[in-house]
Amino acid sequence: MAISLKKPQEIEKLRAANKIVGGALELLRENTKPGMTLKEMDAMAEDYIRSHGATPSFKGLYGFPNAVCTSLNQVIIHGIPSDYKLQEGDVIGYDIGTKLDGWFGDAAITMPVGKISPEDEALIACAKDTLYYAIDNIKQGMRFKELSHLMEKFILDAGYVPLRNFCGHGIGKKPHEEPEIPNYLEGSNPKAGPKIKNGMVFCLEPMICQKDAKPVILDNKWDVVSADGLRGSHYEHTVAVINGKAEILSLA
């Protein structure tokens, strides 16, 4: 497995692409309210990305039709924007990618529409808290499998399960690079596999199911739900390993 190490100036290029992602997500966060359609949210983010000199990297990627993955309620990831109007009590996930000067950015949030139930608040918190817990615990020399194991344990301890068969990933001059980073330990030994090194840049993205970790892909070939049919959540940041620790690149 060839995991590339980025030079400081390359990390700054990635930071610039990711800052636009962070800004677009903040714009969507501020404008998410009942009555807005998913297509309106998608167009708003695309306009923001293009106005900052970048292109929406998800648009056309593997055939995806839009700039933003809008994952509503039971949809955990890869939701296609539609004419659906957001309603009070909905849970909506936004996942955005950018390309700027040949370098890619990628991040995601899940958020409430108006007032939501305490159960849904806890569901969203699990994804966000898992992500920040993992980032805080990254250090040079730990193995990626240890990181996956750490996220899995955090999710299970919160009473949820990580979605199977989807994962975080490296990022750079391609939107998806080595390594793959599942939110659960594959195999039985967390002390196996490649180690985290200074200069590595990757995306962590906890994807949370309530009871059943098995993914089901809907008829549109994109929307991913849990086999339990219950609501899910998803959070993501792009991080760079600098001076032995992870630094978030995808903040506005």
Mean pLDDT to the nearest integer, 164-183: 98
Residue 84 is predicted with a pLDDT of 98
Residue 2 is predicted with a pLDDT of 86
Residue 198 is predicted with a pLDDT of 98
Cα torsion angle, 213, 143, 126, 232, sign:
negative
Q: Is residue 177 part of a domain?
A: yes
Q: Is residue 129 part of a domain?
A: yes
Mean pLDDT to the nearest integer, 142-155: 98
pTM reported for the whole predicted model: 0.97
Residue 42 is predicted with a pLDDT of 98
Tens-place pLDDT, residues 54-84: 999 999 999 999 999 999 999 999 999 999 9
Q: Is residue 45 part of a domain?
A: yes
Q: Is residue 69 part of a domain?
A: yes
Q: Is residue 172 part of a domain?
A: yes
**Which residues span the domain enclosing 93?**
8-248
Q: Is residue 1 part of a domain?
A: no
Q: Is residue 2 part of a domain?
A: no
Tokens at residue 174, please? 């391609």
Tens-place pLDDT, residues 217-250: 999 999 999 999 999 999 999 999 999 999 999 9
**DSSP sequence for 117-131:** -HHHHHHHHHHHHHH
Mean pLDDT to the nearest integer, 99-119: 98
> Is residue 222 within 8 Å of 64, Cβ to Cβ?
yes
Residues 9-41 as b or e (16 or more Cβ within 10 Å = b): ebbebbbbbbbbbbbbbebbeeebeeebebbeb
pLDDT at 196 over 70: yes
pLDDT at 1 over 90: no
Q: Is residue 3 part of a domain?
A: no
Average pLDDT along the chain:
98
Number of domains in the chain: 1
> Is residue 204 within 8 Å of 168, Cβ to Cβ?
yes
Q: How confident is the model at residue 99 (pLDDT cuts 50, 70, 90)?
A: very high
Residue with tokens 């108006």: 114
Please report, for the domain that includes residue 207, its CATH number.
Answer: 3.90.230.10
